[in-house]
């Protein structure tokens, strides 16, 4: 069966590089496959689109343009914040920090520059503006169960001999 654009549970093994380079940005080769449900926005849109029609065991290279990956860089996504808000942090240019956004979500920022009074941070994703190249193999593919399709969670949360979330 080929991957559908909605409600397929897909497992992939991948290695991703910035297009045109040999530098591996991320990989799960030799580890657990990445499992997701299609049509739920769980992976970058360009990769999900590139997987459509592939079958279990099939491999290919998928190039994803920045706009379909982490978006283009937004030059206005920088902010200057008083240094005292970074109390106790050994700041370094280029380091990634995690904070809390206005809606309570986790926000990733990069330290652009700093001095004794202020810190300039960038809210762009580190891969924004970059075209990505994925070497991907489909390790599994099946229709999602009703519960998986409804919750967006692979495996759906069935529990054996205890309450969910507890390890035995």
SS3 of 30-74: the string is CCCCEEEECCCCCCCHHHHHHHCCCECCCEEEEEECHHHCCCCCC
CA nearest 155: which of 58, 165, 45? 165
CA pair distance 138, 131, nearest whole angstrom = 21
Q: Are residues 66 and 132 in the same domain?
A: yes
State the residue range of the domain holding 114.
78-122
CATH for 87: 2.40.10.330
Question: Which pLDDT score, from 0 to 100, does residue 156 have?
Answer: 53
Q: Are residues 30 and 51 in the same domain?
A: yes
How many structural domains are present in the chain? 2
Residues 119/81, Cβ–Cβ less than 8 Å? yes
CA pair distance 36, 45, nearest whole angstrom = 12
Structure tokens at 37: 């449900």
pLDDT average, residue stretch 152-164: 56
CATH for 55: 3.10.50.40
Q: Are residues 35 and 110 in the same domain?
A: no
Total-model pTM: 0.76
Question: Which pLDDT score, from 0 to 100, does residue 167 have?
Answer: 35
Give Rg (Cα) of the chain.
20
Q: Are residues 21 and 61 in the same domain?
A: yes
Task: Kindly report, residue by residue over 58-109, the tens digit of the pLDDT.
Answer: 999 999 999 999 999 998 999 999 999 998 999 999 999 988 777 888 888 9
Residues 54/3, Cβ–Cβ less than 8 Å? yes
Residues 95/83, Cβ–Cβ less than 8 Å? no
136 falls within a domain: yes
Task: Kindly report, residue by residue over 115-134, the tens digit of the pLDDT.
Answer: 999 999 999 998 999 999 99
Q: Please state, rounded to an integer, the average pLDDT across all residues of the chain.
A: 88
Q: Are residues 65 and 16 in the same domain?
A: yes
């Amino acid at each position: 069966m080929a991957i559908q654009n909605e409600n397929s549970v897909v497992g992939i093994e991948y290695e991703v590089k910035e297009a045109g380079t040999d530098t591996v940005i991320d990989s799960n080769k030799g580890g657990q496959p990445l499992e997701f449900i299609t049509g739920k926005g769980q992976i970058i849109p360009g990769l999900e689109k590139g997987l459509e029609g592939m079958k279990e065991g099939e491999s290919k290279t998928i190039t994803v343009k920045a706009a379909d990956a982490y978006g283009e860089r937004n030059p206005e996504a920088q902010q200057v914040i008083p240094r005292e808000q970074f109390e106790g942090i050994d700041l370094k240019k280029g380091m990634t920090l995690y904070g809390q956004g206005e809606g309570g979500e986790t926000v990733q920022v990069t330290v652009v520059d700093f001095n004794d009074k202020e810190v300039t941070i960038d809210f762009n994703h580190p891969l924004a503006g970059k075209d990505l190249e994925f070497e991907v193999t489909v390790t599994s593919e099946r229709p999602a169960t009703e519960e998986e399709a409804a919750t967006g969670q692979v495996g759906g949360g069935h529990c054996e001999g205890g309450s969910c979330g507890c390890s035995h």
